[in-house]
Chain A
Amino acid sequence: MSTLDNTHGTKDNELVVSDGAFVDPGLPEHRSRRADRDPRASRRAELQTVVLFAISVVGTIAMLVLFFAMPDDTSIGGLRGQNLALGLTLGFALLGIGLGAVHWAKTIMSDHEVVEDRHAVESSPEAREAAVAALQAGVEDSGIARRGVLKGAVVSALALFPLALAVPLVAEVGGDWNTNLFRKTLWKKGTRLTRDPDGTPVRAADVTIGSAYHIIPEVSEEERQSPEWITEKAKAVVLLVRLDPKDLNEVEGHEGWTYDGIIAFSKICTHVGCPVALYEQQTHHLLCPCHQSTFDVANGAKVVFGPAKRPLPQLPITVDADGYLVAQDGFDQPIGPSYWERLK
């Protein structure tokens, strides 16, 4: 707040009124800084600025020394230490310059406000007229006036040629465009259920009540090392759990798809595709961690909360002669998120 013996602000305490409106009082009076009034303060400010720049120099040298002299250490703690050392020294190398430059500007550089006029953004009427005249002259020179066919030909050619560039780009970028592949997974009749990621088959007897197995279809070791595997796995992952048969309610149309309380569902969420992997043993709920869609395993994995709409597709399973779990067939619908033509 100012005092009445004013060191800033206009002398008058009142705004001037003219023509029934207040008049702009103009810029506030300039308030001098200590460094302007007191030569000792000025020297102190200069010294502070020099120190700040010196800190930067020290930081740079320190960083370079550490960079070359630090021993190699790839343990977690060692890397953390190296990162800290390099980061701190780099930080100071930079901050020194920044703080020094700003301090110099604030304390020593002239702080008298300057007033500059703004010019209107738009061009002057003369310039506009000249521009219009120039364009008109150009149009006249081009001879396009009353040559409708010529105009049409130019426009058509220019409008069409981008297709020649865009079509090859778009067409090739989409691969083979075979979206029917969404319906096919590696699961077929007789495919064994194996553990993810090592591929060992699962015996029904090993799946005790309360277990949750993460399942992939049986494929050869070679297939599992191939680059296409990850794309197939993205449709084929399955979650296998066992409930007490009396807790399990069979889904209409899916009779016989379970084996003695063991039930298998696609692990890909029908919302937008995250793996639905959180199995809550006591509630028999499957929770997807991405958007909290919750599926009830005891009731055909129908949705009980969250943004998903459709239940998880069920994989029909049984056991083979050796007691290993196998699929009876593939899924009866495309797995994962919905898309426009999925029911066709």
Chain B
Amino acid sequence: MKALAARRHHRFAPVVLLLLALLITGGLYAALAPSRATADTATADDIQTGQALFKANCATCHGMNAQGEGDTPSLIGVGAAAVNFQVSTGRMPMELNGAQAIAKPAQFTEEQTKQLAAYVASLGPGPSIPTAEQVDPSLGNASKGAEIFRTNCAMCHNAVGAGGALSGGKFAPPLTSTSPTQIYEAMLTGPQSMPVFNDANITSEEKRDVIAYIVAQREGAAGGADLGSVGPVSEGLWAWIIGLGALIGAAVWIGAKSS
């Protein structure tokens, strides 16, 4: 007892006690606090790591405080959803500065992406990452989704999401391998040239319907090979190459002398 009593008055004792108290409080909080509606809870750690990642990878263009610089937009208020979309599709960090951000293999792990998202979300309120239920295609109505997609999306992305051209070399990418979460986030945040479809324009349920429609298109075409799903131009090309090609070949065979 004498040894312990002696340490009670050590100058580091208050520090130790404080750390203990913090740990217990934090631990109790983590164990007992209800989880928020968003899928991931961002801890202060996440935000800090996120900030470090941001300063190392994003600040050169977006500014040290994400306030934007020149043509590069500010990220204050874009929300976790925007960051999750841009980083998980590999669009950010951008390869080349310009109007079109090309999707490429993601440069950060899922955890790192969440951390970046948490940091940016902490800078100002913005759209958050959707829950699994919000993006589950089996809960969506593909027919309603078709109607909404046709009016709001097909003109850029093509009737079945095969992608389309915009002006000046930009394009709306194909949606064949985009994940439901990414689709939701893109609608919500309006990345690059894409307009913003907030929940007042296309509600959360309607977004899920759109996801259901896009996923249903991945079953392929009912009539056979889909030839790229870009419409009459590819159909015409294949009619010439395969149709007329085969028939001219047959004509040459018919006209040739037999050996």
Residue ranges of A at the interface with B (Cβ–Cβ < 8 Å)? 31, 33-35, 75-77, 79-80, 83-84, 87, 98, 102, 105-107, 111, 195-197, 202-203, 206, 208-214, 241, 275, 277-283, 285, 287, 289, 292, 294, 305
A46–B245 CA distance with the chains assembled, in angstroms? 28
Report yes or no: A80 in contact with B221, Cβ–Cβ below 8 A: yes
Residue on A nearest B223 in the bound complex, by CB: A83
Chain B residues bordering chain A, tally (CB within 8 A): 34
List chain B residues, Cβ under 8 A from A283.
99, 167-168, 193
Against A, the Cβ 8 Å flags (1 = close, 0 = not) of B225-259 are: 00000000000000000000000001001101111
Q: Which of A34, A77, A275, A305 makes the CB contact (< 8 A) with B259?
A: A34
**Could you count the A-B residue pairs with CB atoms below 8 Å apart for me: how many are there?**
97
Minimum CB–CB distance for A112 against chain B, Å:
12
Minimum CB–CB distance for A1 against chain B, Å:
16
Can you show 7 pairs from A to B with CB atoms below 8 A apart?
A34-B258, A80-B223, A212-B195, A277-B155, A281-B190, A281-B194, A283-B193
List chain A residues, Cβ under 8 A from B155.
275, 277-278, 289
Tell me whether A80 and B201 are in contact in the complex, defined as CB-CB below 8 angstroms, given that A33-B258, A287-B166 are known contacts: no
Minimum CB–CB distance for A244 against chain B, Å:
12
A111–B164 CA distance with the chains assembled, in angstroms? 55
Report yes or no: B259 in contact with A281, Cβ–Cβ below 8 A: no
Residue on A nearest B216 in the bound complex, by CB: A76
Most buried by A among B164, B166, B221, B256: B166
Report yes or no: B167 in contact with A287, Cβ–Cβ below 8 A: yes
Report yes or no: A208 in contact with B198, Cβ–Cβ below 8 A: yes
List chain B residues, Cβ under 8 A from A196.
151
Sort A-B residue pairs by CB-CB distance and give the 5 closest, nearest first: A206-B200, A212-B195, A277-B155, A210-B196, A106-B258
Report yes or no: B195 in contact with A35, Cβ–Cβ below 8 A: no
Q: B222 at interface (Cβ–Cβ under 8 A)?
A: yes
Most buried by B among A77, A195, A213, A287: A287
A281–B195 CA distance with the chains assembled, in angstroms? 5
Q: B170 at interface (Cβ–Cβ under 8 A)?
A: yes
Minimum CB–CB distance for B162 against chain A, Å:
13
Q: B111 at interface (Cβ–Cβ under 8 A)?
A: no
Q: B220 at interface (Cβ–Cβ under 8 A)?
A: yes
Q: B133 at interface (Cβ–Cβ under 8 A)?
A: no
Residue on B nearest A211 in the bound complex, by CB: B196
A294–B167 CA distance with the chains assembled, in angstroms? 8
List chain B residues, Cβ under 8 A from A33.
257-259
Q: B67 at interface (Cβ–Cβ under 8 A)?
A: no
Most buried by B among A206, A210, A241: A210
Tell me whether A280 and B170 are in contact in the complex, defined as CB-CB below 8 angstroms, given that A107-B258, A206-B201, A213-B201 are known contacts: yes
List chain A residues, Cβ under 8 A from B99.
282-283
Minimum CB–CB distance for A329 against chain B, Å:
25
A80–B254 CA distance with the chains assembled, in angstroms? 33
List chain B residues, Cβ under 8 A from A111.
257-258
